[in-house]
Amino acid sequence: MTAVATPAAPQRPTLDSVIGELVKVLRGLGREDLVGRATAAGARLHRPSTVVCVVGEFKEGKSSLVNGLLGAELCPVDDDLATSAITLVRYGDEPGAVVRRRDGDKAVAEPIPIDQLGSWVSEHGNPGNEKRVERVEISAPSAILHQGLALVDTPGMGGLGAGHAAATLAFLPFADGLVLVSDASAEMSAPEMDFLQRAVELCPTVLFAQTKTDLYPSWERILDINRGHLARAGLDIPVVAVSSMLREEALARRDRALNELSHFPELIDALSSKVVEPAKASAAERSKSDIRGITGLVRGALDDEKRMLADPTTAKRAMAELQQATERLEYLRGPGARWSVLVGDRVADLSNDVSYVFRAGMRTISRTMDDLVEELKSGQQWDDMVREMQAQVADEVTKVFVAIEEGRVSIRQEVATLLQDEHLGLTNERAAGDVIDVSELWQQKSIDEGPAKRHAFTTGVTGLRGAQGGVVMFGYLGQFLPSVAATVLASNPVLLGAAALFGGMQLSDDRKRRVAARRQSARTQVHQFLDDVQFEVTNEMTGMLRDLQRDMRDEFGDRLAELQRTYAETAQRAQKNATQTQEMSKRRVAEIDAATAVLAKVAGLVGAPASPVAPSPGAPR
């Protein structure tokens, strides 16, 4: 008896595959302007930008951990080398490295061989950052990076209270994850715990990695103690104990059992589930939103054309209305349109508000520091005061860029709503409200209310990640690094010579005079530091607001241009169809049906309604 083969169940189409079909339809319709958006939406599915900072004190194994994740020794690791410059590692088809530094007043980018990284990013090769390196960017063909992950290896933080910690904290609202590294030689310090508590407020996902388990036999006891510290602090974060040495040996031998003993698979799984997957989900939703807008626009136009083919007597009126809408959209694309003026006015208001709040915050810090300086009696007090000041400055800097991003979201929604209310002179009662669909333009995560214990400025911070166009923190998020923050907050004058400044105050013969002189020196250093921060942040803030205004006008201008082209081409096709034979009209209807079938399939995967969200204006009903 011959067995009958069971036919395989048809595979359900994926969003990735139907985007390819959508691109073909758009090209067939001559809509190259929409092809770019659809292609970008597809690319975002494969490699969403996901930034993870690796943070810790000096010589805790941060660079070794990054190398272990990558499966290659890219970041310099040596007992005599301490990382002194921020290092970004992201995907590249070929290994390479670029040093970004300052040469006088100029920003310089120099490609360098990877084997020379140590001379740029280590304290030994670049003592005191004498080469003025802002960051080093490494590209590597690593599987873990190919999914869009970018790792930021930060310099050691020297107690996690110095400038590098402040710079990192200021950047965290715009990162997707943080890994705090502490080795197994001792339990976590108080500064590490303080840093973790602040980091959890600012970053959506924080992981704790205990390193060097191969060097310390009592690492499990230390791990238990650290878990107890985290529990008492109310920090429910993933904890992984890893050995970079075992990981390196396992990869060299291709030994799966040894790799499991290194516990790196646990760390990679935690990063994947807690950081990468949420980023992918967010990117997928943004892609769906773009595709919904494209399919709704094109399907509406095709449906209108098909209806006019079915009832040619209404085509003349419909073409007149479409032409009227096209002319109105031409005006809306101009600089005198209400929405364009609104963007300029709101950005100016935002600039004034943010500048005022930032200056007020810095002035408060300055006055507080002046009061504290009057009470200074020891070098330890000075160190504690400076660390607290840097943390406060980091908070103020974070407020600036969080406020700008929240303002961008608010302005964008206001403009979208205004454009919805624009009258295009159409008789269709639904058309005027469907010019710009806010739900399609809204590609931002919701801004969730934070716990009451959080600082006020952290409320809603989790809504900022994955924002369209990227968010900057002392430079665009596309660069992934707070380069100016590192320069200003980490390489500042207030920590230099602290012991010399206040050391031996009790032994001075003319104590009062010396104390007064040293306190004046302290005030001078504090004011110089705060002035430097204000100068750099104000400069970055001005550039960011300028780019925000330009990008928003470009975005809405592009959407209006797409809509205008859709109306114009629909009118042109209707005019052409009026002169066609019945046979030609049938062929055109068949072409429309074929394209509409693909669009319907796409709409089903992105959650769009079975029929177009908004019928195009001018179509007979």
pLDDT by residue (tens digit) across 361-380?
Answer: 999 999 998 888 888 777 67
Return the closest-CA partner of residue 136 out of 87, 94, 64, 70. Answer: 87
- CA nearest to 86, candidates 147, 148, 175, 146: 175
Which tokens sit at 191? 């500064």
* 176 touches 207 (CB < 8 A): no
How confident is the model over 515-535, as a mean pLDDT? 82
Give the integer Cα–Cα distance in Å for 333 and 343. 13
pLDDT at 253: 92
Unique residue bearing structure tokens 């993870």: 52
- Beta strands 239-241 and 206-211 are parallel
Task: Give CA–CA dist 204/463, Å, rounded.
Answer: 10
Distance CA 533, CA 72 (A): 37
Q: Are 275 and 51 in contact (CB under 8 A)?
A: no
User: What is the number of alpha carbons within 13 Å of residue 413 lying toward its C-beta?
Assistant: 10
pLDDT at 261 over 80: yes
- Sorted by sequence, the CB contacts under 8 Å of residue 305 that are 6+ apart come out as 570, 573, 574, 577, 588, 592
Quick one: average pLDDT of 540-568?
A: 85
pLDDT at 83: 55
Q: What's the pLDDT band for 446 if we cut at 50, 70, 90?
A: very low
The dihedral through the CA atoms of 514, 518, 524, 528 has a sign that is: positive
Determine contact, residues 142/26, Cβ cutoff 8 Å.
no
Task: Render the burial of 342-375: b for 16+ CB within 10 Å, e for the rest.
Answer: ebeebbeebbeebbeebeebbeebbeebeebbee
Q: For residues 343 and 349, what is the distance between their CA atoms, to the nearest angstrom?
A: 10
The label of the residue with tokens 């205008």 reads 564
- For residues 567 and 472, give the distance between their C-alpha atoms in angstroms, rounded to a whole number: 36
Distance of CA 231 to the CA centre of its chain: 30
Q: Is the pLDDT of residue 476 over 90?
A: no
**pLDDT score of 492 more than 70:** no
Long-range contacts of 368-371 (CB under 8 A, 24+ apart): 368/392, 369/523, 369/526, 369/530, 370/523, 370/526
**Continuous segment of H or E residues that includes residue 121:** helix 118-121
DSSP letter at 377?
-
Range 293-305 average pLDDT = 85
What beta strand segments (E) does 395-466 contain? none
Question: Does residue 50 contact residue 148 with C-beta atoms inside 8 Å?
Answer: yes
- In this predicted structure, what is the pLDDT of residue 436? 40
Query: Which residue shows structure tokens 């997928």?
Result: 284
d(CA 439, CA 437): 5
Say which range, 102-106, 193-197, 298-302, has the weakest mean pLDDT.
102-106
Average pLDDT over residues 441-459: 34
Instruction: Give the CA-trace dihedral at 609, 614, 616, 621, to 10 degrees.
Output: 80
Read off the pLDDT band of 348 (50, 70, 90).
very high
Provide the token pair at 32.
Answer: 């190259």
Residue 450 has pLDDT above 90, yes or no: no
d(C-alpha 117, C-alpha 113), whole Å = 7
Number of neighbours of residue 411 by Cβ within 10 angstroms: 20
pLDDT recorded at residue 279: 79
Answer for the pair 177, 206: CB distance below 8 angstroms, yes or no.
yes
- The pLDDT, as a whole number, for residue 84 is 60
Q: What is the pLDDT of residues 149-174, one digit of tens each?
A: 888 887 765 544 445 566 666 667 77
Give the pLDDT of residue 106.
78
Q: What integer pLDDT is reported at residue 123 of this predicted model? A: 67
What letter represents residue 101's amino acid?
R
Residues across the chain: 621
Does position 483 have pLDDT exceeding 90, yes or no? no
| Sign (positive or negative) of CA dihedral 235, 241, 245, 249 | negative
Question: What is the pLDDT of the chain when averaged over all its residues?
Answer: 75
Task: Kindly report whether the global pTM for this prediction surpasses the value 0.85.
Answer: no
**Tokens standing for residue 326:** 């096209």
Alpha carbons 509 and 514: distance in angstroms, whole number = 9
Share of the chain above pLDDT 90, in %: 16
* E strand or H helix that includes residue 78: none
Residue 220: how many CA atoms within 13 Å on its side-chain side? Answer: 2
Instruction: Return d(Cα 459, Cα 441) in angstroms, integer.
Output: 23
